[in-house]
Structure 1
C-alpha cells in the first residue's frame, strides 16, 4: 500500500504514525503502571534497552546496507545499459552513414521501449510484459551482418559484440528487479518485532518529569521510524516511492534524436 503513495506521504505515514503510536503507548504505560515513575527499576530497564538497541541497530543496519547496495547497483546497471547503447550508436559511424542510421534507429527503438514499459510507481512490470518489447535482436542482427573492411570497423564489431553481451545481462537484471521485492516476509516480521521491542523497553524506562519522558520516547520513535522508512523506500528500487529514474534512457533518446 505504501508503494502507491508519494514520497512525502510515505514519510508522513511512517514517521508521524509510529511516533504518535510510541507517545500514546508511553501515556498508557504512565497511567496504568505509575510505578515506572519511581525509577527503582531504571538500572535494569536501561541495561536491557541498551542491549536491545545494539542488536536492533546491527540487524536493521545490515538490512538497510544490503538494500542500499541493491538500489545503487540497479541505478548503475541502468546507466550502463542506456549509455553503452548510446556509445554503440555513435561508434557505428565507422561503418558509414547508412549503417550508422540503422544502428541509431535500433538503439532509439530499444530505449523508447524501455521508457514506455518502465514500471510505474507501485505497479512493477513482470518480465513477460517487457521481454518481447525490449529486444536487442535488431542490434545483434546488424552486428552479425556487418562486413568490416578496415581495422577500425573490425574493432568496432568486436567491441560491440562484447558490449551487447553486457547490455543483455544488465537488461535481464533490470527485468528481474522490476518484478519482485527484495525483502521476504520473515525479514519484515523481524524488523517489525525488533522495532516494537525497542519502543516498549524505552517506554518502560521511567522518569518523574513528564515532558522529558515524552521527549525521550519521541526521539527514539523518530529514529526507529527513520530506519523503517529507509527499509520501505529501498525495497522496490524500480517502482517504489524512492526509485531509480529512467532519465539515462531519455537522455540517450534526446541526444541521438537531435544529433
Structure 2
C-alpha cells in the first residue's frame, strides 16, 4: 500500500468517524435542549486550525532553512579543503606543485561557473566535476615524496582531498528539492482550509475586514513561496552561491 493511499484512507476514516458521532449525538438531543447555552465552537475551531497550521508552517520554514544552512556549510568546507590542498603543495617540487594547483583551479572554475547551473537544472552533480576531482585525487595520491618535508605533507594532502570529496557528496545530496510531496500536500491543503475558514466567520465588506482578509491570504501565500524558494538550496532566489569557492580558491 502506497503512502498516498494510506493517507487518503486515514483521512476518510477519521472524517467518517467524526461525522458519525456528530449525527448520532444530534439524534439523541431532546426537545428541551437549549443551543444558546452551548458555547459556539466555530470561532474556537478556526482559532485552533490557524494555530496548528502556523506551527506546521514554522516547522517547514525551519526545515528548509536548516537545509540551506547545511548546504552553505558544505560549500564552505569544500572551498576550505581546496584552499588547503593548494597551500600544502608548496613543499612539493615545482612541476608537481604547479600541476596539482592547476587541477584545483580547473575544478574550482568548473564548479563555480558550470556545475552550479547544472545543479539548478538537473538537481544533481555533474559527471565532469566528479572527473576533475578524481584528477586531483590521482595527482595527489600517486606522487611519491622524496624529501622528509614532502613526506610529512603527503598524508594531510590526502586527507584534504578526502574532505573535498565528502563536502562535494553532501552538496550533491542537497542539490535537489528536499521537501517531500506529502508535506507539500499538507501545506497547500492546510492553506486552503485556513483561508477558507475566513468565510465561516461571516466576513462582511467593511474596509477593515477586507484588508485583514487580504493581508492574511497574502501572508500565507508569501510563506508558502518562501518555503518553495528555499526548498532547493542551489536552485531558488535565495540559493547558496559559489562565492566561497571563488574567494578561497580562485582569488588567492
TM-score by length of 2: 0.75
Q: Is residue 194 of structure 1 aligned with residue 193 of structure 2?
A: no
Unpaired stretches in structure 1, ≥5 consecutive residues: 1-41
How far does the alpha carbon of each residue in 1:34-55 deviate from its partner, in whole angstroms, 9 at most, with x for none?
A: xxxxxxxx95332112100111
Aligned to 1:146: 144
* 8 A contact 1:119–1:125 mirrored in 2: no
Superposed CA RMSD? 2.4
Deviation at 1:106, TM superposition (A): 0.9
Deviation at 1:160, TM superposition (A): 1.6
Q: Is residue 230 of structure 1 aligned with residue 226 of structure 2?
A: yes
Aligned to 1:211: 207
How far does the alpha carbon of each residue in 1:81-105 deviate from its partner, in whole angstroms, 9 at most, with x for none?
A: 1221022102211224333212210
Higher Cα Rg, which structure: 2
**Secondary structure in 2 aligned to 1:93?**
helix
Deviation at 1:250, TM superposition (A): 2.5
Mapping of residues 1-259 of structure 1, within 5 Å = 44-114=41-111, 115-119=113-117, 123-127=121-125, 130-135=126-131, 136-144=133-141, 145-150=143-148, 152-178=149-175, 180-206=176-202, 210-256=206-252
Q: Number of residue pairs matched? A: 212
* 8 A contact 2:108–2:250 mirrored in 1: no
* 8 A contact 2:68–2:230 mirrored in 1: yes
Unpaired stretches in structure 2, ≥5 consecutive residues: 1-38
**Secondary structure in 2 aligned to 1:240?**
coil
TM-score by length of 1: 0.73
Distance 1:44 1:209 in 2: 24
Distance 1:96 1:185 in 2: 54
Pick 1 or 2: higher relative contact order, CA cutoff 8 A, min separation 6: 1
